[in-house]
Structure 1
Amino acid sequence: MSDQPPRKKSKWDDDEEEFALEKERRRAQKLAARLMSEKEQLERSRERGATDSPRGSGRSSVESTPRRVARDDDGLARARRVPRRGRAAHPLLESCRSVYCYERLNEIEEGSYGIVFRARCKSTGDIVALKKLKMDKEKNGFPITSLREIQTLMTVPHENIVRVREVVVGDTLTQVFIVMDFIEHDLKTLLANMPTPFLASEIKTLVMQLLSAMAACHDNWVIHRDLKTSNLLMNNRGQIKVADFGLARTYGDPLGDMTQLVVTLWYRAPELLFGATEYTTAVDMWSIGCIFGELILREPLLPGRGEIDQVNKIFKLLGRPTDELWPGFRKLPNAKSFNIDAAQPYSTLSRTFRYLTQSGLDLLSRLLTYDPAKRITAEEALKHAYFEESPLPKDPRLFNSFPSVASGEKKTTLASPSAPQAGGGYDFV
């Protein structure tokens, strides 16, 4: 077929339009043939690897070097190998299976970036969580939040971080699902429904697991940026699993500019509220401080109705910041928006947590420190004396079990602010 459109016989002919459609069809056929060829090559490579690998080793001979996606002249995604960086390796992504490999059981929740269902794998019977990504109005390809979530979860494998099993697709390109381990509870729902509060030993165990997960993230140059009790899942064996990495991102040294519209309002660090565009893993540590307080009080520690009210609640709990406590904070973009000098000068933290030990109060105050440079890190917090005093952290296997809302045993709707919309110019549902 010639690349030039045929000459029109009359003004009513649609030869040019037909030619364009035929050219597009031929291009689609070439693309499909190329994808099929690549799939066959991958299968042959996998078969050779299974044959060549030592018996019982359980490992493929396929190289596990990270792959980066590039695009050729036809716009087709292809993979090129890049040098390994000093981060944890993640499994090689293969072609996606169909979502019809799973049987949908019930809806768990709907968030800013997707709907989560409980489902059963038809071949193994395993119960999993299916997160359907919201792509209906996505105009810039695959949603950046979903790319970050998948990348992060595969880069930082940890026992206290939810595991991605695979990515599956439906009938169209707008039906994409992340398959994750199913976890029975989230901490927010548990705190609202459990008949008695967590014991001090149980709170220590939960906080230690959260700190351990964040230490792994921060060691791999990842900031979560949306830690809150509804994003902390808990199974019936007392294990915490950090979930929802849609706002997570990697960072470098030196730090580059990042959006300050991250972290759900009640858990947002003061430097973000004051408009900082350069920030560190310290924003996660502030959120952990808010979660620590919420586990003790059984209600959100700083439930602001807006950014100004949020800052006022922080001032009321910690007292107003000073140049000695937080050098340079008055130079931040939003500093003039708040009536700092009118705020109370003293902290009410010890009065709010009157039953917390001195060691526990010290850890909480170091998590809720104004100056991010002085805020305790996850590694430092794990070594804090609070976790070594009596009562010691409880063995997770000794935790009580609770009815699972996610399993459809009970349905509760809890009021809390939504996560910020991320992705800059990306349009989300």
Structure 2
Amino acid sequence: MRITIMADGDRAEGAPAESEAEPLRFQRLWGEGYFEVPASERLGKCRSVKEFEKLNRIGEGTYGIVYRARDTVTDETVALKKVRMDNEKEGMPISSLREITLLLELQHPNIVELKEVVVGNHLESIFLVMGYCEQDLASLLENMQTPFSEAQVKCIILQVLKGLQYLHERYIIHRDLKVSNLLMTDKGCVKIADFGLARTYGMPPQPMTPKVVTLWYRAPELLLGVTTQTTSIDMWAVGCILAELLAHKPLLPGTSEIHQIDLIVQLLGTPNENIWPGFSKLPLVSQYTLRKQPYNNLKHKFPWLSEAGLRLLNFLFMYDPKKRATAKDSLDSSYFKEKPLPCEPELMPTFPHHRNKRAASTSTGTETQAKRAKP
């Protein structure tokens, strides 16, 4: 059976029209010969992408192109993400299958919504229909004339923590938290997006690829080669995001893994066995010569931040993953109970849409971030 690869649901040059498409035939499991799938059943239970009107392209990330689109049946505005099928010879990429499987099980106000999967004319033309969010935080931070106030920062982080608590209670690690993967609706609702690297985990933890999480948000245990990952890597990234929102610039903008570790040591001091049991036995420790830095410089970095705020940052930046703050710990922090109190989401400022500069704001979020951090 010959399959013609389609682009964005349109007919490829030289490909037959849909009504003239080659028969879809499968070899019989029992008996000899093939059976043919009727044209009316080629899409299975999935709707056709032709039921969506593409309004404009809003970004392109690692795992697909994203469009703002209108569902012609419901008149709802959605984000339509075309799954990349580059060089895929054995079906859908595993990253997309993982993302679809996870998102179909998740329902939370602070998690991006996967509404359904729709298909084009051919098997390689697959689209995810996502809830549409007007902005991503990376684009907002680049285009805002006035930075977020501390009350607004608390509102954002609280929503991220609620979404993470929901994920972590279900034994899901996001593994790619960063500002471009945090979306915001025009009602001030923040949603965690891009689940292409997300994984479920169990006890005991199984080895996973350590080179995950965009460099600026990567926990030290990942940089030092740990392969058994827990929710603590997401919490380190939350600390980086909180600090970035408070400082109005990235906290640890490393240019390489060596530079990233050095920036962490400059900020938090040199790790040792006393504060991080097992540190000296980490797989890549012998490859680095860490500078001798006995001080924690967070207070110097944020001299205006309250004691409660500094405690929360220090808790999120614990070297030992076992001692690092959980999402629940963070939600209970007194930082969110002191003035300025978090503003309500509906009172968050609204912004003009920067669609031409946005990272793929439904589930990829890498275009803007690529300019801001090395993956």
TM-score normalised by the shorter chain: which range applies? 0.7 to 0.9
The CA distance in 2 between the partners of 1:162 and 1:26, in whole Å, is 39
Unaligned runs of 5+ in 2: 1-22, 360-366
Choose the corresponding residue for 2:316, options 344, 367, 370. Answer: 367
Q: Give the match for residue 319 of structure 1.
A: 269
| 1:353 equivalent in alignment to 2:302 | yes
Q: Following the alignment from structure 1 to structure 2, what is the Cα–Cα distance between the partners of residues 106 and 238?
A: 23
Q: Any conservation in 2 of the 1:192–1:298 contact (CA below 8 Å)?
A: no
State whether structure 2 residue 373 is matched by structure 1 residue 417: yes
1:172-227 per-residue CA deviation (whole Å, 9 max, x = no partner) reads 21111110011000001111111111111111111010000000000011000000
The normalised TM-score by structure 2 is 0.86
2-structure distance, mates of 1:114, 1:166:
16
In the other structure, the counterpart of 1:393 is 342
Instruction: Name the CA distance, whole Å, in 1 between partners of 2:38 and 2:358.
Output: 49
**Cα displacement (A) at 1:36:** 4.8
Q: Which residue of 1 aligns with 2:329?
A: 380
Question: Structure 1: how far apart are the matches of 2:47 and 2:60?
Answer: 23
Q: What is aligned with 1:43?
A: none
- Counterpart amino acid of 2:373? P
**Structure 1 gaps, min length 5:** 1-21, 40-93, 420-429
- Contact 1:367 1:375 survives alignment (8 Å): yes
**Distance across 2 between alignment mates of 1:140 and 1:305:** 36
Give the drift of 1:325. Answer: 1.0
Give the Cα–Cα distance (whole angstroms) in 1 for the partners of residues 316 and 106 of structure 2: 23
> Aligned pair in 2 of structure 1 residues 157, 413: CA closer, same or farther (>3 Å)?
closer
Equivalent residue runs for 1:107-186 within 5 Å: 107-186=57-136
Q: 1:156 and 1:294, CA in 2 relative to 1: closer, same or farther beyond 3 A?
A: same
The amino acid of 1:30's aligned partner reads F
Q: Find 1:241's aligned residue among 172, 191, 198.
A: 191
Whole-angstrom distance in 2 between the partners of 1:223 and 1:409: 28
CA contact (8 A) 2:52 2:69 kept: yes
User: Quick check: 2:137–2:184 contact (8 Å CA) kept in 1?
Assistant: yes
2:167 is matched with 217
Query: CA 1:32–1:326 in 2, change beyond 3 Å: closer, same or farther?
Result: same
Asked if 1 retains the 8 angstrom alpha-carbon contact of 2:235 and 2:326, the reply is yes
Report what 2:219 is aligned to: 269
Counterpart contact for 1:103–1:120, Cα < 8 Å: yes
Contact 1:274/1:333 (CA < 8 Å) preserved in 2? Answer: yes
3-state secondary structure, aligned to 2:321: coil
What is the deviation of 1:416?
Answer: 2.3
After alignment, is 326-335 or 134-143 more displaced?
Answer: 134-143
Alignment correspondent of 1:335: 285
- Structure 1 residue 112: deviation in Å? 0.9
Query: SS of 2:130's equivalent?
Result: strand
Residue 114 (structure 1) shift:
0.9
In the other structure, the counterpart of 1:204 is: 154
Q: How many angstroms apart in 2 are the aligned matches of 1:34 and 1:138?
A: 24
Shift in Å, 1:126: 1.1
Matched, 1:99 2:55: no
Secondary structure of the equivalent of 2:37? helix
Amino acid at match of 1:166: E
Q: Using CA pairs under 8 Å that are at least 6 residues apart, name the structure with larger relative contact order, 1 or 2.
A: 2
Relative to structure 1, the CA distance from residue 377 to residue 107 in structure 2 (aligned partners, 3 Å threshold; closer, same or farther) is: same
Aligned residues: 340
- The farther-off stretch of 145-154 and 290-299 is 145-154
Q: Distance in 2 between matches of 1:379 and 1:201?
A: 20
When the two structures are superposed, what TM-score results if normalisation uses the length of structure 1? 0.75
Give the CA deviation at 1:25. Answer: 7.2
The equivalent of 2:137 in structure 1 is 187
Q: Is the 8 A contact 2:135 2:358 kept in 1?
A: no
Of stretches 142-151 and 261-270 in structure 1, the one that deviates more from structure 2 is 142-151
Stretches (4+) displaced over 3 A:
24-29, 33-37, 408-414
Instruction: Tell me by how many angstroms 1:410 deviates.
Output: 8.2
CA contact (8 A) 2:358 2:368 kept: no
Aligned equivalent of 1:32:
37
Tell me if the contact between 1:187 and 1:234 (Cα under 8 Å) persists in the aligned partners: yes
**For residue 245 of structure 2, what is the aligned residue in structure 1?**
295
| 2-structure distance, mates of 1:149, 1:196 | 35
Cα distance per residue 1:343-387 (max 9 Å; x no partner) = 322121111111111100100110011000000100111011111
Residues 337/103 of structure 1: CA separation in 2 closer, same or farther (3 Å cut) = same
**For residues 405 and 146 of structure 1, what CA distance do their matches in structure 2 show?**
27
The residue number in structure 1 matching 2:4 is none
Taking the aligned partners of 2:236 and 2:217, their CA distance within structure 1 comes to 7
Which structure has the greater CA radius of gyration? 1
For 1:302, what is the secondary structure of its paired residue?
coil
Task: Note closer, same or farther for the CA distance 1:26–1:350 as it changes in structure 2 (3 Å cut).
Answer: closer
Amino acid at match of 1:189: S
SS in 2 for 1:167: strand
For 2:84, the aligned partner's letter is K
Q: What corresponds to 1:91 in structure 2?
A: none
